[in-house]
């Protein structure tokens, strides 16, 4: 169905999809039909060279040899000179321009870089067709093959492909050269640099399916029957199409054959009985094998499409439902960088992020403010996350001097077309976002652009609605901008939710961006009060979770709206993890170079706020978390409030065995409703213990923390002890320090060294400190609040990997990992 403008009487019914596998099938060869070759190893790279390196005869022997995905800037060094900006951030309500440092991560991403790759295509011959596919190239890629410019693109987050059939040299070496240019003032956060996502070549028959044309939907879904519809386009005449549907165990459960098509368009419907429905709790996936068959029975092309069967619906005053069940989005926003890996995509790092979010009870992700990677969507399908796929941070009006507005007129439609066609088969995606806090929210031109973009999304995918993250809520109420959208998304502005609900006709509101509470893991400040834009001399933020920005708020204020207003359909918290750049509230202070917004820090280590969300979102597991730590030498006898984040309604606190009383959640304030707080506790070293109580006052669980002695021993805890010997997989090892009694030392800041031997290599480390200028790839780093993460990367050889972590005066930590084929 085509989505029209919504009103209060209108119900939007939307249905599933799955995904077209690109790079995941890179090593598979289809019989005489299709090969996908990943261009991964042995690229040559150089930055800021003066000459033109596009020629096939150019001598690149002295360049660095790198593997793709690659981010040239993440290797640093950190320096304020890389991204000093004199600007007023309008989105933050600033009126006067000031010097900003660290806004884009204080890493050397600005400039140009060349990548060169020599390859052969033994699969290519007369009668074949070849496409080169870029999953993302930062930024403004210019692509040359054998010295000839064959294409270019503007947007660094966009996927795009180029037909290179006429330019391939058959039976000989080919030289691919890519020039990338990152302009200054082109981003509001760390964009990364280089070929940071995968590059592949698809070789297929001339008669074949068109790239990204296959569209799988399920227009009918119930527990007994699902109708699967497959539409696609093919180049070729008088070819038929056969589709085989397999379940998760690879059993064939349905087949269909469409007759010969003259115009190359196919529209196929297949029934699946007793379908296993896709949801965050049961992320069941099916596979469609779609084959193009010629007159003589020859297999001309074959595509593998994974998909899920599900139905979605958005209803006024009710909200969002999946497979007939009303649920709310318990979501987070995520930037694309992976902390110490920078923008370079890595599936193990992505999976670790999603595993952490799953434990928190998160069920949804918003890609902010850019197009998601294919790997992220594949994992969201497999692990069960609803997805809000976003496109742009700018339209035609600029936020930064060299932002996307330069490309909007020429590229906006092409970028949306590629986004939707390449990803619309993912069952995780339940809505699209056309933009975030765009200045075009003002005026008639902005209204025209919003309709233009939304119409493109509807044309390419009539099964999902479109939203925009709006921060100028009063303006969008007055202009009709918010009424035009399928889903009105509010960024913050909790005080305007009621007004917006009355003004907008859709009958519901999405918290498209919420909270933006700031904190530093393991750092606590006194006195404990609510603050806006609070700054401290150490450039950290308090982990009592009571500090926000002038334009943002505390988590509890959003919780109230989510719980009390059925027409609020969910939230996407800013952000799930800290990210490089945007060090608010210290964007005028050096050396802050990464955000404080994350529920987990840049290393992926949970902050206290993680447990606040977990206590509310994770309805399967119990949470009983105490803060702060209990090491406050010099604060003896001073007020040191104790908070407990828990899904129990009440608890009793003990300090060295003495009761501090029972606290019960209540509605006095939003914080009292969602936290247990003992605000008058005086510090004395020893043990604090919390005992959770059931409705009858019976003790049902307890937790305690202790004052630590001096640091004694290093402890290592990997997220996985066995990884794949594929040259890409990573084990994330949490490094902490304990005293002689095994008690964690939360104040430890020892300088540590890392050594990896065997079938693995040292990849990076990160301690989550937004002010640290230590480079991630060096094999030494200081602990921050007693912890850091070491990344151990597999080689392509199976075997044992040994990690040793040492520090002066500490007993070393040693752990053996295993890599397997």
449: which residues sit within 8 A by CB, 6+ positions away? 395, 396, 440
Is 666 exposed, middle or buried, given 0-12, 13-18 or 19+ CB atoms closer than 10 A? exposed
Please tell me which residue, 31 or 779, carries the higher pLDDT value.
779
Question: How far apart are the C-alpha atoms of 213 and 230, rounded to whole Å?
Answer: 10
Supply the pLDDT for residue 99: 83
pLDDT tens track for 378-388: 999 999 999 99
Supply the pLDDT for residue 27: 33
Whether 298 and 322 share a structural domain: no
DSSP secondary-structure letter at 17? Answer: -
Supply the pLDDT for residue 261: 80
Question: How far apart are the C-alpha atoms of 663 and 676, rounded to whole Å?
Answer: 6
Packing angle of the helix pair 408-423, 443-460 (nearest 10 deg): 30
pLDDT band at 472 (very low <50, low <70, confident <90, very high): very high
Residue 15 has pLDDT above 70, yes or no: no
Question: How far apart are the C-alpha atoms of 652 and 692, rounded to whole Å?
Answer: 7
DSSP secondary-structure letter at 494? Answer: G
Question: How far apart are the C-alpha atoms of 787 and 772, rounded to whole Å?
Answer: 14
Whether 373 and 340 share a structural domain: yes
Question: How far apart are the C-alpha atoms of 115 and 120, rounded to whole Å?
Answer: 17
Whether 446 and 540 share a structural domain: yes
Quote the domain boundaries for residue 544: 317-617
Q: Which of 556, 583, 617 is the last residue of a domain?
A: 617
How do beta strands 239-246 and 208-209 pair? unpaired
pLDDT tens track for 158-180: 999 999 999 999 989 999 999 99
Residue 354 has pLDDT above 80, yes or no: yes
Supply the pLDDT for residue 32: 53
Residue pair 493/515 in contact (Cβ under 8 Å)? The answer is: no
Average pLDDT over residues 457-469: 98
Residue 154 has pLDDT above 90, yes or no: yes
Domain holding 681: CATH number? 2.60.40.10
Task: Tell me, yes or no, whether 32 lies in a domain.
Answer: no
Task: Tell me, yes or no, whether 427 lies in a domain.
Answer: yes
240: which residues sit within 8 A by CB, 6+ positions away? 257, 258, 259, 260, 261, 292, 293
Residue 740 has pLDDT above 90, yes or no: yes
Supply the pLDDT for residue 460: 98
Nearest C-alpha neighbor of 446 from the set 495, 405, 390, 499: 405
Query: Which residues participate in catalysis according to the annotation?
Result: 437, 513
Residue 423 has pLDDT above 50, yes or no: yes
Nearest C-alpha neighbor of 594 from the set 401, 731, 776, 375: 776
Cα separations in angstroms, 537 against 525, 530, 541, 592: 11, 18, 10, 12
Is 536 exposed, middle or buried, given 0-12, 13-18 or 19+ CB atoms closer than 10 A? middle
What are the respective helix, strand and coil percentages of the chain, to the nearest 5? 15, 40, 45
Which residues are registered as beta bridge partners of 504?
none
Percent of the chain with pLDDT over 90: 91
Whether 556 and 696 share a structural domain: no
Rg of the chain over all Cα atoms, to the nearest angstrom: 27
Give the total number of structural domains in the chain: 5
Supply the pLDDT for residue 24: 32
Question: How far apart are the C-alpha atoms of 712 and 717, rounded to whole Å?
Answer: 17
114: which residues sit within 8 A by CB, 6+ positions away? 45, 46, 47, 49, 53, 63, 177, 178, 179, 180
Supply the pLDDT for residue 25: 31
DSSP secondary-structure letter at 594? Answer: B
Question: How far apart are the C-alpha atoms of 209 and 6, rounded to whole Å?
Answer: 35
What is the 3-class SS of 188-240, one letter each residue?
CCCCCCECCCCEEEEEEECCEECCCCCEEEEEEECCCEEEEEEEEEEECCCEE
The residue to which tokens 């030494």 are assigned: 780
Task: Tell me, yes or no, whether 67 lies in a domain.
Answer: yes
Domain holding 113: CATH number? 2.60.120.260
Residue 10 has pLDDT above 50, yes or no: no
Is 608 exposed, middle or buried, given 0-12, 13-18 or 19+ CB atoms closer than 10 A? buried
Residue 327 has pLDDT above 60, yes or no: yes
Residue 536 has pLDDT above 50, yes or no: yes
pLDDT tens track for 192-249: 999 999 999 999 999 999 999 999 999 999 999 999 999 999 998 889 999 999 999 9
Q: How many CB atoms lie within 10 A of CB 672?
A: 15
Whether 514 and 653 share a structural domain: no
Whether 687 and 577 share a structural domain: no
Average pLDDT over residues 771-787: 98
Nearest C-alpha neighbor of 388 from the set 568, 560, 230, 511: 511
Cα separations in angstroms, 403 against 187, 205, 400, 499: 6, 39, 5, 32
Q: Which of 263, 289, 307 is the last residue of a domain?
A: 307
pLDDT tens track for 243-275: 999 999 999 999 999 988 878 899 999 999 999
Mean pLDDT of the chain: 94
Whether 523 and 556 share a structural domain: yes
113: which residues sit within 8 A by CB, 6+ positions away? 45, 46, 47, 48, 72, 179, 180, 193, 194
Task: Tell me, yes or no, whether 555 lies in a domain.
Answer: yes
Whether 700 and 717 share a structural domain: no
Whether 366 and 328 share a structural domain: yes
Task: Tell me, yes or no, whether 480 lies in a domain.
Answer: yes
Q: Is the pTM of this model over 0.75?
A: yes
661: which residues sit within 8 A by CB, 6+ positions away? 652, 653, 678
Average pLDDT over residues 622-639: 98
Whether 783 and 695 share a structural domain: no
Cα separations in angstroms, 740 against 162, 287, 734: 61, 54, 19
Residue 734 has pLDDT above 70, yes or no: yes
Residue 18 has pLDDT above 60, yes or no: no
Task: Tell me, yes or no, whether 626 lies in a domain.
Answer: no
Supply the pLDDT for residue 813: 98
What is the 3-class SS of 632-654, one letter each residue?
CCCCCCCECCEEEEECCCEEEEE
Q: Which of 142, 175, 197 is the last residue of a domain?
A: 197
Average pLDDT over residues 4-8: 39
Task: Tell me, yes or no, whether 31 lies in a domain.
Answer: no
How do beta strands 699-706 and 751-758 pair? unpaired
Starting at the earlier edge strand, list the strands of the sheet with 658-664: 658-664, 650-655, 687-693, 699-706
Task: Tell me, yes or no, whether 781 lies in a domain.
Answer: yes
Residue pair 24/319 in contact (Cβ under 8 Å)? The answer is: no
Residue 353 has pLDDT above 90, yes or no: yes
Domain holding 412: CATH number? 3.20.20.80
Whether 116 and 181 share a structural domain: yes
Nearest C-alpha neighbor of 181 from the set 433, 451, 340, 402: 402
Whether 581 and 641 share a structural domain: no
Average pLDDT over residues 31-43: 88
Which residues are registered as beta bridge partners of 430?
none
């Amino acid at each position: 169905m085509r989505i029209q403008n919504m009103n209060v009487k209108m119900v939007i019914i939307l249905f599933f999809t799955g995904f077209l596998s690109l790079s995941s099938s890179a090593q598979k060869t289809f019989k005489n039909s299709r090969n996908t070759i990943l261009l991964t190893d042995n690229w040559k790279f150089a930055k800021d060279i003066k000459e033109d390196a596009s020629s096939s005869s150019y001598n690149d022997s002295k360049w660095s040899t790198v593997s793709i995905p690659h981010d040239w800037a993440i290797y640093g060094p950190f320096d304020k000179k890389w991204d000093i900006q004199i600007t007023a951030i309008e989105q933050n309500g600033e009126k006067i321009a000031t010097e900003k440092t660290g806004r884009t991560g204080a890493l050397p991403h600005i400039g140009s870089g060349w990548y060169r790759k020599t390859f052969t295509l033994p699969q290519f011959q007369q009668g074949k067709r070849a496409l080169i596919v870029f999953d993302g190239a930062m930024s403004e890629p210019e692509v040359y093959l054998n010295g000839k410019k064959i294409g270019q693109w503007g947007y660094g987050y966009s996927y795009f492909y180029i037909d290179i059939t006429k330019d391939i040299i058959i039976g000989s070496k080919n030289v691919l050269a890519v020039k990338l240019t990152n302009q200054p003032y082109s981003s509001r956060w760390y964009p990364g640099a280089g070929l940071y996502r995968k590059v592949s070549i698809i070789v297929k028959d001339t008669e074949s399916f068109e790239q990204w044309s296959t569209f799988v939907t399920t227009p009918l879904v119930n527990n007994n029957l699902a109708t699967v519809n497959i539409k696609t386009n093919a180049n070729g005449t008088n070819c038929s199409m056969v589709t085989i549907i397999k379940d998760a165990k690879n059993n064939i459960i349905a087949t269909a054959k469409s007759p010969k098509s003259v115009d190359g368009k196919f529209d196929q419907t297949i029934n699946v009985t007793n379908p296993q429905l896709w949801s965050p709790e049961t992320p069941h996936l099916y596979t469609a094998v779609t084959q193009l068959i010629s007159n003589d029975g020859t297999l001309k092309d074959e595509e593998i499409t994974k998909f899920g069967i599900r139905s979605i619906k958005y209803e006024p005053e009710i909200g969002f439902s999946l497979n007939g069940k009303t649920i709310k989005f318990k979501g987070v926003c995520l930037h694309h960088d992976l902390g110490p890996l920078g923008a370079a995509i890595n599936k193990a790092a992505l999976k670790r992020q999603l595993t952490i979010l799953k434990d928190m009870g998160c069920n949804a992700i918003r890609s902010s403010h850019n197009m998601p990677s294919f790997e992220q969507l594949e994992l969201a399908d497999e692990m069960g996350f609803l997805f809000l796929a976003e496109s742009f941070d700018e339209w035609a009006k600029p936020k930064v001097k060299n932002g996307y507005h330069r490309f909007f007129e020429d590229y906006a439609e092409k970028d949306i077309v590629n986004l939707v066609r390449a990803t619309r088969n993912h069952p995780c995606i339940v809505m699209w976002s056309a933009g975030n806090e765009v200045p075009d929210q003002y005026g008639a031109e902005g209204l025209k652009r919003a309709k233009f973009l939304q119409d493109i999304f509807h044309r390419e995918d009539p099964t999902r609605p479109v939203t925009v993250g709006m921060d100028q809520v009063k303006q969008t109420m007055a202009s009709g901008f918010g009424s035009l959208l399928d889903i009105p998304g509010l960024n913050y502005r909790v005080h305007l939710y009621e007004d917006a609900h009355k003004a907008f006709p859709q009958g519901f509101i999405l918290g498209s961006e919420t909270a933006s509470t700031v904190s530093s893991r393991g750092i606590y400040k006194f006195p404990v009060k609510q603050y806006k834009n609070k700054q401290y001399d150490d450039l950290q933020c308090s982990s009592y979770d009571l500090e926000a920005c002038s334009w943002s708020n505390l988590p509890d204020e959003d919780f109230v709206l989510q719980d009390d207003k059925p027409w609020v359909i969910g939230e996407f918290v800013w952000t799930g993890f800290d990210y490089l750049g945007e060090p608010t509230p210290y964007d005028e202070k050096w050396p802050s170079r990464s955000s404080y917004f994350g529920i987990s820090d840049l290393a992926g280590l949970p902050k206290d706020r993680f447990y606040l969300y977990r206590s509310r979102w994770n309805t399967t597991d119990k949470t009983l978390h105490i803060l702060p730590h209990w090491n406050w030498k010099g604060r003896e006898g001073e007020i040191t409030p104790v908070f407990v984040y828990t899904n129990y309604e009440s608890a009793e606190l003990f300090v060295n065995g003495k009761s501090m009383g029972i606290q019960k959640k209540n509605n006095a304030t939003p914080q009292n409703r969602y936290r247990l707080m003992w605000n008058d506790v005086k510090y004395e070293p020893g043990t604090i213990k919390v005992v959770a109580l059931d409705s009858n006052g019976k003790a049902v669980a307890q937790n305690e923390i202790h004052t630590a002695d001096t640091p004694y021993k290093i402890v290592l805890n990997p997220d996985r002890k066995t990884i794949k010997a594929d040259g890409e997989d990573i084990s994330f090892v949490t490094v902490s320090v304990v005293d002689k009694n095994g008690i964690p030392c939360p104040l430890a800041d020892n300088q540590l060294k890392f050594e990896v031997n065997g079938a693995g290599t040292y990849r990076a480390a990160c301690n989550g400190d937004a002010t640290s200028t230590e480079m991630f790839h060096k094999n030494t780093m200081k602990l921050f609040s007693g912890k850091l993460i070491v990344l151990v990367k597999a080689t392509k050889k199976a075997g044992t990997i040994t990690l040793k972590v040492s520090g002066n005066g500490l007993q070393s930590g040693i752990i053996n990992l295993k890599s397997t084929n």
